[in-house]
Amino acid sequence: MVLSSKSYAFDPGPGFPLVATAKRFLFAEDGFTLVFAHGNGFHKEHWDPVIDDLVELLSSQQVKIREASPV
């Protein structure tokens, strides 16, 4: 059901040793945008199974999801 996905990396600049990453799953042209956040020490990939299940559940109820982004 996923049309495409794209990964992003955000470099905050000099003096900051960490880089923020995000992933974007595109499903449809219109609908809801879902953003999932995680705490330090966890990976954004922890959200992948949750997103899969949620998209399946909501599509059976005819709720459109445009994209989901675990950041």
Q: What is the pTM of this model?
A: 0.71
Domain ranges of the chain: 4-10+19-70
Give one DSSP letter per residue of 31-60, joined into a string. Answer: SEEEEE---TT--GGGGHHHHHHHHHHHHH
- Contact between 69 and 22 (Cβ < 8 Å): yes
Show pLDDT as tens, one digit a residue, over the chain (71 residues). Answer: 556 889 888 888 888 888 888 888 888 888 999 998 887 778 878 888 888 899 889 888 888 889 988 87
